Structure 1
Amino acid sequence: MAEIDSITIDEMYTSRHLEVADRAQYRSFEPRRSSMLYELVDDLDIGPGDLVLDIGGRDASHSLALASLFGCDAVSVDPVASNNEQARAAVAEHPLGSKVSIRSGMMEEIPAADGEFDFIFSRDMFFHVVDADRALAEARRVLKPGGHLLLYQTFATDRLEPLERAELYAGLVVAPERMSPDDFQKRASAAGLVIESTDVIGSEWREAWEEDGEGLTSRQLLYAARLIRKSEQLRAELGDADYRVELANALWGVYQMIGKLEPRIFLLRNPAVSDQDNP
């Protein structure tokens, strides 16, 4: 570990430092909102007549949002039976539910025809993927030439300590190799996808949720504190597996806020035939 120079006691208690820190504590640095993800979809001119794949769609909430915002049709694909049950229930109750269909499957083996989709939407699910090369090859297979994959993914930073990594990954079924942005970019390029842009989100969305009064990460911090302080009691009440999931999920948000985890947005394109002929 690299040595870190210590500040002096005078530097710690300087009045100017305290005054500046006090002002900074209550100042917004204008974080972007999570709605920017849909703004990026809008920039791609997705609309009626387009078919969108929501990979790792969970309860189909993103599929329904895409259909509502852009008038497209969407297919939610998820490997978890309970997620698909919730998705079907949500679709049945939604006014635009007829525009969304549910398929059981995983990214490594997408249940779709070659070139079936105009656009692929992936929100914070890629860390579950075991075989990234196969998953990215499948994404390219089902995506029309010239189509885009918009992938929001949380990655680890050097601030995340080894024990924190081990507990977090075990609790949320994370494939450790998926937590490296460099590894992702290398594999995406090897799959033949063109990386058009990368945007580091970091803590911005979570700062915005706090500033907007949602307090999601504050609640997660409080929940994590209770889970840790009353670990024996809550582990007995929840069961070991659910306790570990709850604690890891709470810490996931806290770690994003303090820079141990770093969400990024990747916009990738499946090259058109003309692109491949003229590199």
Structure 2
Amino acid sequence: MAEPHAITIDEMYSLRNVDAVDRALNRSYQPRRSGLMFAVLDDLEVGPDDLVLDIGGREASHSFALVQMFGCRVVSVDPLESNNARARAAVAEHPLGSRVSIRPGVMEDIPAADGEFDLIFSHDMFFQVVDADRALADSHRVLKPGGRLVLYQTFATDRLEPRERDQLFTDLAVVPERMSPEDFEKRAQAAGFHLELTDVVGSELREAFEEDGINLTSRQLLYAARLLRKSEQLRAELGDIDYRVELGNALWGVYQMIGKLEPRIYVLRRS
């Protein structure tokens, strides 16, 4: 592909259709809203008879959403005791708590019997999995034949510059190899999964947040600007780790909006 020509001053200021630009950039292109993964599960007809594994369940908020939407039973598995403690407290207080159970564990060694689950739900955690092959193999093990792994994951694109990549991955505990969709698909197929769906979400959810007035990415852009401009002051005030994590989280959202990071949804069926 030929390199684009250098835009001239005349082209930049004299020949542009300002009205057309305004119309094009100030209309909605109908981005999809949050809940995409739940819509996928609805298409898969998840129901009360199903047992779902919420891997990397954190405080079990997704687990309760699954129970409320589909009536299924859910097991939340997370490696951090602080997350599991909050999840257990939520289970004790929630009216549907009897439908959710908490188990400590990691995706590489899931605390479950062979073929125990009808479905695995994974929401934006796989980029921190150290041993992808073992995690996918164990996911395959705990699923029933024909069971599915539904995974939402953010990947890097070629727009993410090397220095941005190094800083972001270091500060957010990202395993670099997990950020390649091609690598993920290859490993999933090698583990015995059939790729039923690949949905490139891209910036859609972020656009929808802005259009709906949630302004999540706008706030993250503001936070990133403050953290960068007042880096010495805020690093001293917050501490090095909190400073780096907050900057990384802010940039994570901004990078999704401008195409340096690309969320995708996968549906993988156990053979």
TM-score, scaled relative to structure 2: 0.97
For 1:143 and 1:17, the matched residues in 2 are separated by 56
Using the TM superposition, give the Cα deviation of residue 26 of structure 1 relative to its aligned residue in structure 2, in angstroms: 1.2
1:133 match = 133
Q: Deviations over 1:196-226 (max 9, x none)?
A: 1101000000100111111111111111111
Q: Deviations over 1:25-51 (max 9, x none)?
A: 211000011212101101111111210
Q: Extract unaligned runs of 5+ from structure 1.
A: 272-279
Using the TM superposition, give the Cα deviation of residue 3 of structure 1 relative to its aligned residue in structure 2, in angstroms: 5.5
For 1:239 and 1:3, the matched residues in 2 are separated by 45
| Secondary structure in structure 2 of the residue aligned to 1:120 | strand
For 2:188 and 2:263, the matched residues in 1 are separated by 17
1:246 matched to 2:246? The reply is yes
1:150 match = 150
| Secondary structure in structure 2 of the residue aligned to 1:263 | strand
For 1:250 and 1:199, the matched residues in 2 are separated by 24
1:95 match = 95
1:68 match = 68
2:111 match = 111
Using the TM superposition, give the Cα deviation of residue 185 of structure 1 relative to its aligned residue in structure 2, in angstroms: 0.5
Using the TM superposition, give the Cα deviation of residue 148 of structure 1 relative to its aligned residue in structure 2, in angstroms: 0.8
Q: What aligned pairs does 1:1-279 form with structure 2 within 5 A after superposition?
A: 4-271=4-271
Using the TM superposition, give the Cα deviation of residue 15 of structure 1 relative to its aligned residue in structure 2, in angstroms: 5.0
Are the structure 2 counterparts of residues 236 and 3 from structure 1 closer, same or farther at C-alpha, using a change threshold of 3 Å? farther
> What residue identity is the alignment partner of 1:227?
L
> What residue identity is the alignment partner of 1:68?
Q
Using the TM superposition, give the Cα deviation of residue 4 of structure 1 relative to its aligned residue in structure 2, in angstroms: 4.9
> What residue identity is the alignment partner of 2:149?
L
Q: Deviations over 1:87-140 (max 9, x none)?
A: 112222221111111111110110100000000000100000111000000000
The list of structure 1 runs, each at least 4 consecutive aligned residues, that deviate by more than 6 angstroms after superposition, is none
> What residue identity is the alignment partner of 1:54?
D
> What residue identity is the alignment partner of 1:114?
D
> What residue identity is the alignment partner of 2:187?
R
| Secondary structure in structure 2 of the residue aligned to 1:119 | strand
Using the TM superposition, give the Cα deviation of residue 63 of structure 1 relative to its aligned residue in structure 2, in angstroms: 0.5
For 2:95 and 2:120, the matched residues in 1 are separated by 23
For 1:117 and 1:233, the matched residues in 2 are separated by 49
CA RMSD of aligned residues (A): 1.2
Using the TM superposition, give the Cα deviation of residue 14 of structure 1 relative to its aligned residue in structure 2, in angstroms: 3.5
| Secondary structure in structure 2 of the residue aligned to 1:10 | helix
> What residue identity is the alignment partner of 1:35?
G
> What residue identity is the alignment partner of 1:241?
I
For 2:148 and 2:158, the matched residues in 1 are separated by 30
For 1:19 and 1:13, the matched residues in 2 are separated by 14
Q: Extract unaligned runs of 5+ from structure 2.
A: none
Q: How many residues align structurally?
A: 270
For 1:73 and 1:37, the matched residues in 2 are separated by 17
TM-score, scaled relative to structure 1: 0.94
For 1:96 and 1:169, the matched residues in 2 are separated by 37
1:277 match = none
